């Protein structure tokens, strides 16, 4: 089939590359010439493990990029994969979605039935809005000459290729039968996993083994849109819950890692998303919980649980800072090394990261901050260049005469640091490991005052 993806950001690049790999002739459209050049040169415009290889593999055969929306004219399916940042009131800014819809409408082919797919995370009702904009721009009739549907993405940064090729579910939101037939055809290779060997060359095979086949689920557009928000908010609630249990566990002297394990063994609960942290963050959970809460309030049906999870998450940042304060007494003039600026490992994404509220609070109390991240320092500097903090090229440099070392993101490399050098460089060898990730027993044996979260 012929496919166009509007937007070459995180979701657009991954979706387009995967559709191309599945055998569809795919064009990525973006207004940013640099990103377009990047893809055409066989490189990924965003950092995501495996994506460079995938794009390199497909470019020149079934994948290309362009700044012109011309290919919409020939397309069977057009994906909208543009950003939906948060406005000040928590609701989603639909500027880019509307612009994409207009541009698609202007290039739509009057002779064929085109399916337009909303993959961006958008408020409930946006599918209808996009259809109206396209009707206006094209003069065509929605549902008869084209159809717009919702097909939310469930890609985790850092595992996006695994998630796109081996998804748990593919959700298609439309009641239009012609559009449903087109989408079944488009996703056939994904449901039947027809690309196993090709993908295995790019992804480590372990990730693909034992994966259940995707459940292909059809519903109406509004339900599909809400599935996305309700899922992400549920996961955020789950993390907030275990983080609260961790706080209680710490007070009681029990061990939250064992509690999470014991809970997760109940298949109704499940073991995933019970990993303690300094709070959930990133480009999705804060935005999606905010939007869902705002929508629920607008309709007079406030989701009190989501509201509580957001508040609880804020308290988690303060809880971590409180632990450092408790240990160091005054933070004024104290040096604190921070390991990890991205919201999770294996991404360069430092948007809405937990590092921000935590660093802000530490600075307010007069601490001097030295930071390191293997991939996220460039974005962090671009977004928060105004912060009076020191960026270190080596993780070990963050602890020069430091009073504390705080691990915020559990990058694998942080387990293998030169701990002897770190111990010798620190003024007081206190470590706060907000992910319970570092080798606690070894570190304590070396003389570190090591603290995790949720246990003694
Ligand atoms: C999320 C959803 O998982 C994905 O399905 C959706 O489509 C996009 O949003 P992502 O934002 O990439 O993906 O990150 P995710 O792995 O879900 O983590 C979100 C935040 O929760 C991170 O800050 C992470 O560190 C934190 N987290 C996750 C925990 O603190 N504990 C956990 O057990 C899991």
- Look at the chain and report how many structural domains it folds into: 2
pLDDT band at 423 (very low <50, low <70, confident <90, very high): very high
> Do 287 and 370 sit in the same domain of this protein?
yes
Instruction: For 220-234, write each residue's pLDDT tens digit.
Output: 999 999 999 999 999
Q: Would the pLDDT of 219 be above 70?
A: yes
> Do 382 and 442 sit in the same domain of this protein?
yes
Instruction: For 49-88, write each residue's pLDDT tens digit.
Output: 899 999 999 999 999 999 999 999 999 999 999 999 888 8
- Residue 370 pLDDT: 98
Query: Which ligand 1 atom sits closest to the C-alpha of 153?
Result: 7
Mean of pLDDT values over 154-181: 94
> Do 237 and 215 sit in the same domain of this protein?
no
Identify the active-site residue in 81, 284, 320, 392.
284
> Do 213 and 240 sit in the same domain of this protein?
no
Q: Would the pLDDT of 261 be above 80?
A: yes
Helices 126-138 & 95-107 angle (0-180, nearest 10): 40
In 207-298, beta strands by DSSP E: 215-219
> Do 192 and 284 sit in the same domain of this protein?
no
More confident residue, 136 or 213: 136
For ligand 1, the distance from its centroid to the CA atom of residue 40, given in whole angstroms, is 30
Q: Phi/psi of residue 29, each to 5°? A: -115, 130
Q: Name residues contacting ligand 1 (CB within 6 A).
A: 153-157, 232, 235, 239, 273-275, 277, 280-282, 284-285, 343-344
Q: Would the pLDDT of 341 be above 80?
A: yes
To the question of whether residue 318 is assigned a binding role by annotation, the answer is: no
> Do 337 and 228 sit in the same domain of this protein?
yes
Query: Which ligand 1 atom sits closest to the C-alpha of 435?
Result: 30
Please tell me the residue having the least CA distance from ligand 1 atom 7. Answer: 154
In the β-sheet with 335-339, what is the strand arrangement from edge to edge? Answer: 390-391, 368-372, 335-339, 404-407, 430-433, 449-451
381-410 burial string, b = 16+ CB within 10 Å, else e? eebbeebebebbeebbbbbeebbbbbbbbb
Q: Which residue range(s) make up the domain with 117?
A: 2-219
Among 264, 290, 285, residue whose Cα is nearest residue 90: 290
Among 11, 169, 164, residue whose Cα is nearest residue 80: 11
For residues 410 and 345, the answer to whether their CB atoms sit within 8 Å is yes
Q: Would the pLDDT of 422 be above 80?
A: yes
For ligand 1, the distance from its centroid to the CA atom of residue 280, given in whole angstroms, is 7
To the question of whether residue 412 is assigned a binding role by annotation, the answer is: no
Max CA distance (Å), the chain: 74
> Do 308 and 272 sit in the same domain of this protein?
yes
Mean of pLDDT values over 277-288: 94
Q: What percent of the chain has pLDDT over 70?
A: 98
- Residue 418 pLDDT: 95
ipTM of the complex, rounded to two decimals: 0.96
For residues 402 and 429, the answer to whether their CB atoms sit within 8 Å is no
User: Cα 96–100–101 angle (5° rounding)?
Assistant: 115
- Residue 86 pLDDT: 83
To the question of whether residue 154 is assigned a binding role by annotation, the answer is: yes
Mean of pLDDT values over 206-214: 73
The CATH number covering residue 419 comes to: 3.40.50.720
Among 190, 219, 248, identify where a domain stops.
219
- Residue 434 pLDDT: 98
Q: Would the pLDDT of 243 be above 90?
A: yes
Among 219, 248, 273, identify where a domain stops.
219
Instruction: For 30-55, write each residue's pLDDT tens digit.
Output: 999 999 999 999 999 999 989 999 99
Q: What is the DSSP letter of 274?
A: -
> Do 186 and 286 sit in the same domain of this protein?
no
> CB within 8 A of 382, min separation 6: which ones?
none
284 tagged catalytic: yes
Instruction: For 100-149, write each residue's pLDDT tens digit.
Output: 999 999 999 999 999 999 999 999 999 999 999 999 999 999 999 999 99
What does the H/E/C string look like for 206-218? HHHCCCCCCEEEE
313-347 burial string, b = 16+ CB within 10 Å, else e? beebbebbbebbbeebeebeebbbbbbbbbbbbbb
> Do 214 and 227 sit in the same domain of this protein?
no
H or E element at residue 432: strand 430-433
- Residue 373 pLDDT: 98
For ligand 1, the distance from its centroid to the CA atom of residue 206, given in whole angstroms, is 21
Please tell me the residue having the least CA distance from ligand 1 atom 21. Answer: 280
For ligand 1, the distance from its centroid to the CA atom of residue 282, given in whole angstroms, is 7
pLDDT band at 365 (very low <50, low <70, confident <90, very high): very high
**How many angstroms separate the CA atoms of 106 and 136, rounded?**
9
Write down the mean pLDDT value for the chain. Answer: 95
Please tell me the residue having the least CA distance from ligand 1 atom 1. Answer: 156
Q: Would the pLDDT of 218 be above 70?
A: yes
Q: Would the pLDDT of 300 be above 70?
A: yes
- Residue 194 pLDDT: 75
Q: Is 245 left (phi over 0), alpha (psi -120 to 50) or beta?
A: alpha
Instruction: For 185-206, write each residue's pLDDT tens digit.
Output: 999 999 987 766 777 777 776 6
Cα 384 off chain centre by = 19
> Do 166 and 276 sit in the same domain of this protein?
no
**How many angstroms separate the CA atoms of 35 and 46, rounded?**
9
H or E element at residue 231: helix 221-252
Query: Which ligand 1 atom sits closest to the C-alpha of 239?
Result: 31
pLDDT band at 360 (very low <50, low <70, confident <90, very high): very high
> Do 309 and 162 sit in the same domain of this protein?
no
> Do 55 and 158 sit in the same domain of this protein?
yes
Please tell me the residue having the least CA distance from ligand 1 atom 17. Answer: 156
More confident residue, 380 or 88: 380
pLDDT band at 247 (very low <50, low <70, confident <90, very high): very high
- Residue 179 pLDDT: 98
- Residue 46 pLDDT: 92
Mean of pLDDT values over 365-371: 98
pLDDT band at 207 (very low <50, low <70, confident <90, very high): low
Cα 83 off chain centre by = 12
To the question of whether residue 238 is assigned a binding role by annotation, the answer is: no
Query: Which ligand 1 atom sits closest to the C-alpha of 243?
Result: 30
Among 191, 219, 247, identify where a domain stops.
219
Quickly list DSSP for 119-163.
Answer: -S---TTHHHHHHHHHHHHH-PPBTTTEEEEE----PPTTSHHHH
Cα 318 off chain centre by = 23
To the question of whether residue 352 is assigned a binding role by annotation, the answer is: no
């Amino acid at each position: 089939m012929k496919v166009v993806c509007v937007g070459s950001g995180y979701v657009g690049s991954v979706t387009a590359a995967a559709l191309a790999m599945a055998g569809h002739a795919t064009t990525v459209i973006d207004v940013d010439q640099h990103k377009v050049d990047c893809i055409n040169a066989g490189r990924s415009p965003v950092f995501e493990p495996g994506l460079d290889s995938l794009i390199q593999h497909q470019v020149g055969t079934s994948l290309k990029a362009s700044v012109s929306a011309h290919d919409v004219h020939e397309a069977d399916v057009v994906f909208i994969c543009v950003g939906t940042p948060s406005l000040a009131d928590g609701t989603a800014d639909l500027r880019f979605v509307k612009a994409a819809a207009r541009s698609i409408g202007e290039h739509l082919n009057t002779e064929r039935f085109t399916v337009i797919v909303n993959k961006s995370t958008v408020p409930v009702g946006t599918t209808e809005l996009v259809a109206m904009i396209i009707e206006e721009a094209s003069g065509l009739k929605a549902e008869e000459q084209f159809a717009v549907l919702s097909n939310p993405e469930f890609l985790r940064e850092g595992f996006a290729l695994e998630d796109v090729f081996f998804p748990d579910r593919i959700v298609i939101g439309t009641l239009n039968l012609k559009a449903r037939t087109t989408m079944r055809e488009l996703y056939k290779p994904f449901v039947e996993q027809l690309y196993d060997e090709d993908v295995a060359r790019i992804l480590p095979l372990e990730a693909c083994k034992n994966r259940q086949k995707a459940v292909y689920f059809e519903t109406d557009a509004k339900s599909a849109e809400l599935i996305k928000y309700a899922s992400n908010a549920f996961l955020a609630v789950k993390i907030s819950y275990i983080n609260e249990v961790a706080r209680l566990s710490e007070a009681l002297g029990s061990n939250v890692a064992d509690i999470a394990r014991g809970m997760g063994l109940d298949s109704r609960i499940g073991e995933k998303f019970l990993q303690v942290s300094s709070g959930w963050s990133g480009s999705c959970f804060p935005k999606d919980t905010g939007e869902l809460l705002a929508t629920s309030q607008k309709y007079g049906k406030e989701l009190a649980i989501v509201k509580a999870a957001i508040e609880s998450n804020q308290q988690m940042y303060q809880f971590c800072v409180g632990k450092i304060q408790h240990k160091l007494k005054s933070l004024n003039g104290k040096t604190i090394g921070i390991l990890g600026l991205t919201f999770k490992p294996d991404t360069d994404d430092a948007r809405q990261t937990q590092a921000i509220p935590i660093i802000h609070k530490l600075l307010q109390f007069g601490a001097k901050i030295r930071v390191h991240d293997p991939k996220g320092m460039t974005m962090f500097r671009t977004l928060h260049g105004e912060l009076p903090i020191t960026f270190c090229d080596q993780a070990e440099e963050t602890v020069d005469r430091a009073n504390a070392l705080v691990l915020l993101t559990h990058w694998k490399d942080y387990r293998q640091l030169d701990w002897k050098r770190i111990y010798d460089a620190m003024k007081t060898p206190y470590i706060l490991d907000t992910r319970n990730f570092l080798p606690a027993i070894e570190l304590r044996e070396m003389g570190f005052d090591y603290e995790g979260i949720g246990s003694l």
